[in-house]
Amino acid sequence: MVLAGLLAASAAAAQQGSQPQLFITINAGAVFGGDLWTVDRQPVAIIGAPTTAPDTMRITRRLEPGLAAGLTFTVFPWRNLGLSFEAMYLGQGVDDGCSMVYEDQDTDPQRRNNQVCESISGKEITAATTTFTLGGFYRFSPRGAFSPFLRAQAGISLRNESVVEVSGFFLEQGSTAPQDRIVIPDPEGTTAGFTAALSAGIMIPISSGYSVTLEVRDHLITMQRLLAPWDPAVSRNPQTESYLSHAFTFTVGFSIVLERKRGRRY
């Protein structure tokens, strides 16, 4: 429906003597990582002795670099100014670090919380984000050997994993079946939010009807972060906040260019 609207706009512009173009682009590249949050003293109750002083952990969480890929439709009803719709996949991993700050080994000689902490550090999670955005595209030299451009878009982002919840596992003595334990819950499980993207790049024609695009971008993606250690004896849910996180990408795109000439269709 969006693409049909863009084509309708280009058809209206064509009646004024312009030659609208449609670019269908496949993008692939890399997305860089960054820190999410750190909690220095997260209390964790000792299994079997919940009334004693809890153990405490230091937990860090960050996003790792990953793969970026997307599909873009850009129509130019005007010579320099266009409209762009895009679906982009950002495949970042979650890297957790955990270390024991205080551990009561006398109360728990099996060191269950230490096992949980070690499993958190070794856990592999993919917090993939998919964005759907619509916006404007400005190219400086449409008919040149290469054309620098700027792009601004906004839309929604969908993430497959919570970036707040932290869990691990431990083994009871004599057992081979791991038991899961949630250290920090995320009852809301927020995975959708606002997103925006600011881009700069170069379009390079390689032959009639084809071009290559080099692009750097700053994705602003709604994320959640932990603000303080969560103590279930004090509050039911952890204290979190939403904020716009920066996800920088570099992509290379291959475009098929369809151009409407006078008296001809795309």
Domain count, the chain: 1
State pLDDT tens for residues 100-157. Answer: 999 999 999 999 999 999 999 988 788 889 999 999 999 998 888 899 999 999 999 9
Q: What was the pLDDT predicted at 124?
A: 79
Nearest Cα residue to 182 out of 134, 120, 138: 120
Q: What is the structure's pLDDT at 10?
A: 41
User: Is 168 domain-assigned?
Assistant: yes
The enclosing domain of 169 has a CATH number of 2.40.160.20
18 pLDDT above the threshold of 80: no
Please indicate, yes or no, if residue 118 is contained in any of the structural domains: yes
Residue 191's pLDDT is what?
81
pLDDT in tens, 42-92: 999 998 887 889 999 999 999 999 999 999 999 999 999 999 999 999 999
The pLDDT confidence band at residue 161, using thresholds 50, 70 and 90, is: confident
Question: What local confidence, expressed as pLDDT, does residue 112 receive?
Answer: 95
Contact 248, 220 (CB under 8 A): no
Residue 31 domain-assigned (yes or no): yes
Q: What is the percent of the chain with per-residue pLDDT over 70, rounded to a whole number?
A: 90
Flag whether 157 is in a domain: yes
Residue 61 in domain: yes
Assign 20 a pLDDT band (cuts: 50, 70, 90): confident
The whole domain housing 107 covers 2-259
- 80-98 CB burial, b ≥16 within 10 A, e <16: eebbbbbebbbbbebbbeb
Q: Which amino acid is at 225?
A: R
pLDDT of residue 144: 83
Beta strands, E only, the chain? 21-31, 34-44, 55-63, 66-76, 81-91, 93-102, 125-126, 129-139, 147-159, 166-170, 179-184, 192-207, 210-226, 240-259
Instruction: Please report whether residue 264 resides in a domain.
Output: no
At residue 181, the 3 state secondary structure works out as strand
User: What is the pLDDT at residue 262?
Assistant: 53
> pLDDT tens for residues 198-243?
999 999 999 888 999 999 999 999 999 999 999 988 888 899 999 9
d(CA 22, CA 256): 8
Is residue 26 scored above 80 in pLDDT? yes
Which residues 6+ apart lie within 8 Å of 254 measured at CB? 25, 26, 210, 211, 212, 213
Higher-pLDDT residue of 17 and 28 is 28
Residue 266 within any structural domain of the chain: no
Quote the CA–CA distance of 173 and 110 in Å, as a whole number.
7
Strand partners, 55: 44
**What pLDDT score was predicted for residue 234?**
87
